[in-house]
Each structure stands twice: as C-alpha cells, then as structure tokens.
C-alpha cells in the first residue's frame, strides 16, 4: 500500500521501520510504503550468527568500560574530526582490530583509550 507523504505528514512525523503489525519505508518516489510485517522465513545462517555474536560482544565491551574511557573515546573522535561518535569509534576499533585508529586517537588526545591511567 502506497501513501502520499502529504497524507501522513499531518501526524507530525514520518514513520519508518517496524511499527506495530506493519513495516514502513520510503520509496525513491517520495511515497511511504506499508506492508504487513513478516518474520524471516528461515533461521539465520552460521555466518549471520557469527557476525551477530561478534557485534554483541563489541557492544558488551562498550557497556563494560568506565565512564571516563567512554568520554575519552568521544573526545578523541571529536578532536580527530571524525564523522563518527565515540561509541562508533570504539566499535570500529573492536570489530576491525584497528590499532592504527586507536594509536592515532591516543596521539591526538594524549591519553590512553583502553586504560583509566591519566
């Protein structure tokens, strides 16, 4: 079902994603498309499970570090003028083992990003 943006804009927002029993997205022709939400037909592959577990572990790592380290990652990403936030920089480092990113960010702010040492 296609709905014009002008019809739905009276709500004050344009919904996207899963909303109740519907999935909603916006087409290239500036129309809102809604269809009944449907679960995946098959279980995830071993590769999907591996990637999901890897991402969950990286997010768990972010949750476990101290507030001080979280603020350092945010400060470093901002100081380096990266177009990503501190959590995204941490996830990139964790998921890709990007030592070059970590060392460059530590160099910019002058503090370690993995330990609470000053």
Same domain, residue pair 50 and 82: yes
Same domain, residue pair 53 and 98: yes
- Tell me how many domains the chain contains: 2
pLDDT in tens, 28-45: 777 778 888 887 778 889
State which residues of the chain have pLDDT below 70: 1-14, 118
Same domain, residue pair 73 and 94: yes
The reported pLDDT for the residue numbered 5 is 57
Do 24 and 13 meet the contact criterion of CB atoms below 8 Å apart?
no
pTM: 0.66
Q: Residue 82: which residues within 8 A CB-CB, separation 6 or more?
A: 89
Q: Which domain holds residue 57?
A: 46-109
Radius of gyration of the chain (CA): 20
Same domain, residue pair 24 and 57: no
Same domain, residue pair 26 and 60: no
CA angle 96, 83, 98 (to 5 degrees): 15
Answer yes or no: is 66 within a domain.
Answer: yes
Same domain, residue pair 24 and 59: no
């Amino acid at each position: 079902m296609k709905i014009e943006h002008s019809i739905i804009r009276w709500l004050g927002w344009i919904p996207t994603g899963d909303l109740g029993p519907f999935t909603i997205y916006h087409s290239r022709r500036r129309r809102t498309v809604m269809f009944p939400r449907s679960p995946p037909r098959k279980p995830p592959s071993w590769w999907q499970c591996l990637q999901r577990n890897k991402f969950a572990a990286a997010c768990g790592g972010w949750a476990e570090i101290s507030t001080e380290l979280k603020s350092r990652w945010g400060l470093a990403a901002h100081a380096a003028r990266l177009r990503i936030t501190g959590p995204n920089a941490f996830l990139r480092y964790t998921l890709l083992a990007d030592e070059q990113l970590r060392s460059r960010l530590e160099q910019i702010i002058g503090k370690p990003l993995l330990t609470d040492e000053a």
